[in-house]
Amino acid sequence: MTYCVGMLLDEGLVMASDSRTNAGVDRVSTFRKMFYFERPGERTMCLVTAGNLSVTQAAVGYLKERLDQEDGSTLLNATNLFEAARVVGDTLREVYDQDREHLEGHGVSFTSEAIFGGQIGAERPRLFRIYGAGNFIEASEDTPYFQIGETKYGKPILDRVVDPSISLAEAARCALISFDSTMRANISVGPPIDLFCFRRDGHGNSFRRKIEEDDPDWQRIRAAWGEGLKRAFAELPDPGWEI
């Protein structure tokens, strides 16, 4: 299992992913699930993936191999981010067509999904959730964030905080709290956490950070959030029930 989140804001984009994969409590590994595709000064794109690791790695491998091909659409020649999302979706569909029958023949389900965001040229930043079948939906002002993987534990804080008007820094803190809630409830999600913050029109100047378990900033945020929850609970009004 994994957990990834992407937010579309007025200021730009915030995306985050964990790095844990496991096939049982005694088989835990670390694999990166965040990937960048960019041309400095012209386009910046970020992809986070969840699902069967062999499927998502195959898709990312194809995307990287084809960056410089002259025929057909690639992530580096797509004219806008919608077209780039189509490239990602078509690649997932291609892997599905190649591997689904063989995987299912060995009792392995074909599962994959992704969040893909960025900006090309002067186009506004955009964010997409891409499903294993290759189809996708786009974030909007009404739906400014997407989650994939183990989504249920980190969703409440996102619902209460995420709005397109919040700052990149606020969104980054919210993403980390969402991960804290998820990690406390599910051991299949764990650090390092890859964090990507992109300011609108900031090609070549995005913020990227790999957050380890012992990262002091991460620990301060987690501790402050835990203490804040305890204070908020203690200050709740007494309903006056006789219990």
3-state secondary structure of 18: coil
Q: Contacts for 231-237 with beta carbons within 8 Å, 24 or more apart?
A: none
What pLDDT score was predicted for residue 137? 97
**Is the distance from CB of 126 to CB of 119 less than 8 angstroms?**
yes
Q: Residue 126: phi, psi to the nearest 5?
A: -140, 160
At which residue do the structure tokens 């909007």 appear? 140
End-to-end CA distance of the chain: 41
Q: 81-105 and 53-65 helices cross at what angle (nearest 10)? A: 140
Cα within 13 Å of Cα(130), Cβ side: 29
Residue 64: alpha-carbon gap to chain centroid: 19
3-state helix, strand, coil in the chain (%, to 5): 35, 30, 40
Q: Taking Cα atoms as reference points, which of 107, 132, 127 lies closest to residue 50?
A: 132
| 10-residue averages of pLDDT along the chain (243 residues) | 93 93 62 92 95 86 89 90 96 83 66 93 96 93 94 94 96 96 87 95 89 93 95 92 84
In the prediction, which pLDDT does 72 show? 76
Q: Given this model, what pLDDT does residue 105 score? A: 66
What pLDDT does 107 receive? 66
- What's residue 119's pLDDT? 97
Q: Strands 43-51, 112-120: parallel, antiparallel or unpaired by DSSP?
A: antiparallel
pTM: 0.91
Per-residue model confidence (pLDDT) at position 53: 81
Instruction: Give the pLDDT confidence score for residue 106 in this predicted structure.
Output: 63
Integer Cα distance of 217 and 195 in angstroms: 13
Q: Which residues contact 91 (CB under 8 A, 6 or more apart)?
A: 59, 62, 63
CB atoms within 10 A of CB 224: 12
Q: Is 206 helix (H, G, I), strand (E, B) or coil?
A: coil
CA angle 224, 156, 126 (to 5 degrees): 100
Query: pLDDT value at position 110?
Result: 65
